[in-house]
Chain A
Amino acid sequence: MAKIVGAITTSHVPAIGGAIAKGLQQDPYWKPFFDGFPHVREWLAKVKPDVVVLVYNDHGLNFFLDKMPTFAVGACDSYSNADEGWGIPQTAPFKGDSELSWHLIEHLVKEDFDLTTCQEMVVDHAFTLPMALCWPDQKWPVRVVPVVVNTVQAPLPSAARCYKLGQALARAIESWPKDERVVVMGTGGLSHQLDGERAGFINKDFDETFMASMVDDPAWATKYSTTELVELSGTQGVELLNWMVARGALPEKVRKEHSNYHIPISNTATGLMVLEPV
């Protein structure tokens, strides 16, 4: 049976792609962010995943506002990146596993998660950049399943619902009959706000409490409404909903393998965590 070997949660802002393209990883501005990742890569080399289930929000590449699913799952055998409007270099395509995707879809719908299924899907920076941070040579050694959460257009799914989705996702993954090792990733956040007079809002206290809760008190953020999460973490900080899904996929007791936190890159407080089930 498949086994979840751990979760990685990280920020995903487009500027990371620009920095990678310009080779700025050791530039003083970027170094504190990129230096968080060698340890993640060592961990990945150790746990050797076969599959990454990557939970993120689309920013207007695969989905426009004409059709906006609350939760969507990719069911393709390959996924490509595409121009998002800024012309940053695109990553190599990703190998999917439609059989596994459909297994997860069957299981999740059986558990009353009413999903949108995607047999054609392009993946944006929120998917590609975390992958490129984990595997900078972009020779992806894993197959992927994208899981998309609507963090764009309110009403958003609640943190509690996202956490439960993660729990159901874990049961779905662990019922996959192949002996495969799975890493669940959740991308976005942490606190940031791009729009409005409150642009530039960052809440270090909240981020630190949230990151601590990811280890010891995983349901902590579920006490907040999504509007309260916007107030506490910013209009885009609410992308932490993707972290809630990833955290839900791990058991209550976890071990923190690694974490990093840095303010700012672009307009964002960046967080990174690697968690292992105990």
Chain B
Amino acid sequence: MSATSARQPVPGTTIFDGEQARKGYALNKMCYSFNDAANRKAFVADEDAYCTKFGLNAQQRAAIKHRNVLELIEAGGNAYYLAKFAGIFGLDMQDIGAQQTGLTKDQFKAKLLAARG
């Protein structure tokens, strides 16, 4: 077992631990700032400048640019903070779920319903 899989034993899942928290600090700090409507507006007005202000690294900037949740998690993003980023674009949790699982939103909703058994 590699060091990574020992630390992250659940398939398809990145537990947000100290390593992720260190890696993602700038990204999550930027997302935390989106609690404030003025900051959401500033991000939309000049995304690059806003990312620079929070010191995002190249990987984080690319993930933000791609609006790609799996990339954002890989770059240290935490789900609760990424939800604030998604909110800027009016995306809900089912949009986010669909994107990460490679399903359409309707397919993702069907997957949730299937859990009823």
Query: Which residues in A have some Cβ–Cβ distance to B below 8 Å?
Result: 13-15, 59-61, 64-66, 82-87, 152-155, 193-200, 202-204, 227, 230-231, 235-236, 263-264, 266-267, 269
Contacts and interface: CB of A to CB of B under 8 A. Distances in A.
A15 B37 contact: no
A267 B113 CA distance: 10
A54 B31 CA distance: 26
26 contacts: A14-B83, A60-B31, A60-B84, A61-B35, A83-B36, A85-B35, A85-B40, A85-B84, A87-B37, A87-B87, A152-B16, A153-B17, A153-B21, A195-B14, A195-B73, A196-B14, A196-B70, A197-B101, A202-B112, A202-B115, A230-B13, A230-B15, A236-B79, A263-B113, A266-B94, A267-B112
B80 A60 contact: yes
B17 to A, nearest CB: 4
A154 B92 contact: no
A269 B15 contact: no
A195 B112 contact: no
B100 A195 contact: yes
A217 B111 CA distance: 31
Nearest to B24: A65
Nearest to A151: B80
Interface residues on B, range: 35 or more
Contacts of A86: 83-84, 87
A263 B78 contact: no
A83 B35 contact: yes
A267 B115 CA distance: 11
A74 to B, nearest CB: 19
Interface in B58-108: 69-70, 73, 78-84, 87-88, 92-94, 96-97, 100-101, 108
Judged by DSSP, the binding face of B is helix
A264 B117 CA distance: 12
A199 B11 contact: no
B116 interface: yes
A264 B115 contact: yes
Max count, chain B CB within 10 A of own CB: residue among A84, A85, A204, A263: A85
Given A60-B81, A231-B9, 6 more contacts: A85-B35, A153-B78, A199-B97, A200-B97, A204-B116, A236-B79
A236 B10 CA distance: 13
Given A86-B87, A194-B97, A196-B13, A65 B28 contact: yes
